[in-house]
């Protein structure tokens, strides 16, 4: 086999009968509960759109700068005749401002509500895909099977809509990629995965997984999508000089100073909400004020007294080395666990 194994289309579990389906009334009640949560998220996200709060502000102004001035967002506004610095999208690839330029065609609030609606659709579509294709339970019962997992993660979903971030779309593309691959649509799955990588780099780990599964058509489609819709498409939109500068900035902001090690040594992003490995280790192992706000927006100021929670006081360089060891060990462990090709694994092993 060069692609999905026969096990992908076989019943995932040997059983004498299908799991009992939920009644129409139960499905309806569960769907109403999901839609009620979506309405709550719409209220939360809509309020922050009206208040012009980050993070959507960064995305919109990143697209507006590209649309109006033909350049990437410089990260400042002219307010009452003076320059005011603010947050920007320099930790994303240039394709994200290009995407947001479409929304910048609309006034701010109209764009914000359109973006919010798109994210709500992405959330429900993700739940539907998981419930219909990844649980092994009756597909039409997806509102029932997904309600409890959804409620358990309610805080995180709400936080996503609080920020009006881009993760809902990324998650939908990743789940869609895996579902397409599972259904033997290798090229389409790779295409969706490539788009996910252009929005967030972390889905690139799924490319590594597909390499270990010997799914080379999916990998080729993903990499081709990244190349053609990313750097190649940046050239006519931004020009060679601005494209090169954007990628140099990304390497510095996201890969170097924005890495786990970089955040430890530069003492950035110490906010208690940041649960990244490097920041968590720094809060535990070095006196670190966690009451500060996210510091990628110069307008945000610290108002609380310093608060720390460290159990020991290690030098920052040593904390950074610990983070490096944890990252490398984790990656090696994941590579070892995922080393088997797809043809030798069951449906449930692949989904896990």
User: In which band, very low, low, confident or very high, does the pLDDT at 305 lie, cut at 50, 70 and 90?
Assistant: confident
The Cβ of residue 185 has, within 10 Å, a number of other Cβ atoms equal to 17
> Are the C-beta atoms of residues 131 and 139 closer than 8 Å to each other?
yes
Q: Which of these, 66, 89, 49, 62, lies nearest to 258 by C-alpha position?
A: 89
pLDDT at site 218:
98
The DSSP symbol for 215 reads: -
Helix (H, G, I), strand (E, B) or coil at 50: helix
pLDDT at site 8:
55
Percent of the chain with pLDDT over 70: 94
Task: Report the residue count for the chain.
Answer: 352
pLDDT at site 35:
98
pLDDT at site 110:
98
Which residues, 6+ apart, have CB-to-CB distance to 64 below 8 Å? 73, 100, 101, 104
Reduce the secondary structure of 25-68 to three states and give it as a string.
HHHHHHHHHHHHHHHHHHHHHHHHHHCCCCCHHHHHHHHHHHHH
C-alpha span between 70 and 191 (Å, rounded): 28
Evaluate if residue 13 carries a pLDDT over 60.
no
> Are the C-beta atoms of residues 24 and 88 closer than 8 Å to each other?
no
Q: Taking residues 10-14, report their average pLDDT.
A: 43
pLDDT at site 10:
42
Evaluate if residue 115 carries a pLDDT over 90.
yes
Evaluate if residue 116 carries a pLDDT over 80.
yes
C-alpha span between 26 and 37 (Å, rounded): 17
For the stretch 141-154, pLDDT in tens is: 999 999 999 999 99
**And the tokens for 37?**
């949560």
For the stretch 27-77, pLDDT in tens is: 999 999 999 999 999 999 999 999 998 899 999 999 999 999 999 999 998
Which residues, 6+ apart, have CB-to-CB distance to 72 below 8 Å? 62, 65, 66, 89, 90, 94, 97, 238, 242, 246
> Are the C-beta atoms of residues 31 and 22 closer than 8 Å to each other?
no
Evaluate if residue 297 carries a pLDDT over 90.
no
Evaluate if residue 1 carries a pLDDT over 70.
no
> Are the C-beta atoms of residues 143 and 157 closer than 8 Å to each other?
no
240: part of which helix (H) or strand (E)? Answer: helix 240-250
pLDDT at site 46:
97
Evaluate if residue 270 carries a pLDDT over 60.
yes
For the stretch 176-225, pLDDT in tens is: 999 999 999 999 999 999 999 999 999 999 999 999 999 999 999 999 99
Q: Taking residues 165-185, report their average pLDDT.
A: 96
Q: Taking residues 233-238, report their average pLDDT.
A: 94
Evaluate if residue 228 carries a pLDDT over 80.
yes
Peptide bond just before 216 cis, omega within 30 deg: no
- How many helices (H) and strands (E) are present in the chain, helices listed first? 16, 2
Which residues make beta-bridge pairs with 76?
85
> Are the C-beta atoms of residues 257 and 276 closer than 8 Å to each other?
no
pLDDT at site 290:
87
pLDDT at site 78:
87
pLDDT at site 98:
96
Which residues make beta-bridge pairs with 77?
84
**And the tokens for 335?**
């590579």
Helix (H, G, I), strand (E, B) or coil at 277: helix
pLDDT at site 15:
46
Q: Which of these, 203, 119, 123, lies nearest to 163 by C-alpha position?
A: 119
Specify the pTM: 0.90
Residue 82, phi then psi, degrees to nearest 5: -130, 160
Give the mean pLDDT of the chain.
Answer: 91
């Amino acid at each position: 086999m060069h692609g999905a194994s026969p096990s992908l289309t076989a019943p995932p579990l040997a059983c004498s009968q299908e799991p009992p389906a939920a009644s129409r009334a139960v499905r309806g009640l569960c769907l109403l509960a999901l839609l009620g949560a979506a309405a709550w998220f719409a209220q939360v996200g809509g309020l922050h759109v009206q208040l012009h709060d980050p993070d959507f502000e960064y995305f919109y102004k990143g697209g507006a700068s590209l649309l109006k001035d033909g350049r990437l967002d410089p990260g400042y506004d002219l307010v009452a005749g003076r320059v005011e610095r603010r947050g920007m999208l320099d930790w994303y690839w240039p394709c994200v401002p290009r995407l947001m330029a479409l929304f910048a065609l609309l006034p701010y609030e109209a764009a914000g509500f359109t973006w919010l609606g798109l994210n709500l659709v992405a959330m429900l579509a993700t739940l539907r895909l998981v419930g219909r294709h990844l649980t092994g339970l009756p597909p039409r019962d997806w509102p029932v099977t997904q309600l409890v997992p959804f409620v358990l993660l309610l805080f995180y979903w709400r936080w996503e809509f609080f920020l009006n971030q881009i993760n809902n779309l990324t998650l939908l593309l990743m789940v869609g990629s895996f579902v397409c691959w599972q259904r033997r649509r290798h090229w389409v799955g790779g295409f969706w995965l490539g788009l996910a990588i252009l929005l967030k780099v972390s889905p690139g780990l799924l490319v590594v997984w597909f390499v270990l599964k010997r799914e080379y058509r999916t990998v080729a489609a993903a990499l081709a999508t990244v190349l053609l819709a990313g750097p190649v498409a940046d050239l006519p939109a931004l020009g060679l000089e601005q494209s090169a500068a954007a990628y140099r900035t990304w390497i510095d902001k996201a890969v170097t100073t924005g890495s786990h090690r970089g955040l430890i040594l530069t003492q950035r992003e110490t906010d208690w909400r940041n649960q990244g490995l490097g920041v968590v280790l720094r809060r535990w192992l070095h006196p670190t004020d966690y009451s500060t706000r996210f510091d990628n927006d110069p307008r945000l100021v610290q108002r609380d007294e310093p608060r720390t929670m460290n159990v020991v006081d290690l030098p920052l360089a040593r904390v950074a080395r610990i983070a490096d060891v944890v990252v490398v060990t984790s990656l090696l462990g994941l590579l070892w666990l995922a080393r088997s090709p797809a043809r030798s694994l069951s449906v449930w092993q692949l989904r896990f």
